Structure 1
Amino acid sequence: MEKKVALFAHDILQRKIPPIGSAVLSSCYVRQCKKRGFVFGNNAGIAKLFDSIQSAYGDEYLAQIDPAYNNGKHEQWIRLKSDKGQLNMPLARHLIIALHLFSSADDFEGALKNESILLSASSSPRPSKNEDAHSGKMIKYRQKIEMLLALRSEADVEYLWKKAYKPTHWLMENDNAWLIAKLRMPKKVAVKVEKTIDSRDAGYAALIEAGVDELYSVAKDPKRVNIRNLQTLLPNSLPHGLELRKQRFPLTYHQIKRHQESVWYFRLRTLVWSISEIIRMKLPVNYSTVRLTSAVASKVFLVFSSFFEWDLESLARTGVDAEALLKSTGVSRDWEGPPIAISF
């Protein structure tokens, strides 16, 4: 038993346990007494604890380490109530009580920490109604000022007086240091984050290269080959932001820019399809039928027919291959139109 107490004492003294107040230590002892069954009504059973310690350690050992016990002063040998901020017991007695109640230094240290937290929480003074109101105003008015400063980074105190007189007035009187610090706070500078190239970029670029000719086919209800329609060749759309799109999908972006269709080429492609359909239906190819059947302005038909020198009567007799007729014009997909001014 003597060795057990010595090891416990050594373990406790080696630990960096912060100073413990008598109230914490007393409460810790009392709580553990109740857990161990040393109770008397609703209180700690001091007599039961003393009897248990006597039984465990024996009179001879207790008399050896504690002069008061040796002199027969057993009645108040255990004192769990704080007197003038102290638990008036020698260190050896504390060690015996702690070892008997907690069995190990780990459990004793843990109990002290928990008790400190519990007492600290329970003894914290509750704020008065006035303090609650003051704190509530501070939070509310700070939020108002922070919102205004976020909306207008260059705002000064004059702006705050104008837009939020009451919060500004209250903070000037009650929280002036915070308000001044907020006004002097350096403005946030946007940090550009370098975007890495998306791993799908090369694959997406290849998909556009492979599928773009199909979009340019002369077919019913032709659609202009623009950024949106080129992206129908992809499994997913590209990011909406232009800079982000260029940074993350540079190859794909290049293909899209390269294959976009000009307005004039789209008009030509649409008109060629209309002419082929008119001839297929054995209708006369002229100003009137084009105006009725095509989305292209009829005046464009007249200019194109002249510019490309189409022999419409011959086309009507022999029939027309729309793809061949379009190719025969010799213009590129980014064609900027005929050198003739056309007013719409």
Structure 2
Amino acid sequence: NDEKAYQYAVFAHDLLKQNLSPISPALLFSIYKKQARQLGFSRGKGIAAEELQNAVIDHYGEAFIKDTDTAYASARRKNWLRLTSYQSALDTPITRHILLGLFLFESVERFTQQILKEEVQLKLETRSRHQETNSAFRDTKLSSHQREHHRKKVLNLKQRRPTATIQEIWKQAFKSMSWLYDNDRVWLQKYGLQPKSITTHKTVSPSIDDELLAAQVDDFAKNYFSNDSGKPHRLTVGRLLECLGKKLCPSSDYRKRFPLTFDRIDYHTESPWHFRARRILWAIGELQSFGESISTSNIEMISGVNFHWINDIVDYCEWNYASLARQSINIPSFLLRSGIPHNWPGPRRPDSRMNGGRRHISQAKIEPKSYLDFILNSETSKPHS
């Protein structure tokens, strides 16, 4: 008994350490069933449950099982080792799960390996059934009535206009030709209505002006923020294209002809968060010149930046309004010193939903007003030691 108890304790301990995700009753029963059949407990396509139960009892001994399982100790032994499901779980206490798992697999490693293997197999089977269902559904849609309707419409058109080209028939009966092309191409080929698809690969060579235009983009972007006087304007793709003096657009063909140019345009395009930060600092300078107090509401009114975005940026950069009011700010260099490059993606908020649980999810729906509010809320919610 001591040896059995030790094996039982080790198996339970190792199983808890695995921290397994919830396993469906169907998956767990499938694992038990396959392993039991491999050990010889088979009856037809199922398992010999009574023989398996007797083998488990013989293996551990009644004395050990009585000490481990209260139901067995109180003589409730009919269908003791049952593998039926009840309310989305196998109708078997955890003690019997451990006894059965140890008996069938001997170690947690073998048990978890079989779980992973079965999960992969189940996903493949589910995907296959899903594809078969979709295929059957599509086949059902291809009813003979639809097929005959579209065939008849195209044939009538062909009889009325025997000299019509395939393109003209497509134009006159586009819906029917599209349906037949998707679902009945053999018939289209039989009547010579199957269009010949000729794949043409258009080779686009880079333009000889690509390097020159890329250099122009670099030069323009280098001085843009210093020369952007007055109320700031965002450095967009459109403004970078305008500086070239050449009509370009960010389509795939132009990107192939001017790969270096568009690479530099993508790099120099100002992020929305960097633009908001510039607007905030500009608004602070305007408030200084008007002799007005520097506050979030005043900055919002002058800059046009949302109140919450202002708080997010100010909290992230740890700016102090009183300190900013006493200095003359060179916006580009000040932003770089604050850790905000031109492509800054913005302050990153921790996502409380990652903590899991319904309570965390419901609380995460309440958006904190700013990054600072989020930190303060997190600190106040911590248990005090």
Select the structure of larger CA radius of gyration: 1
Give the TM-score normalised by structure 2. Answer: 0.43
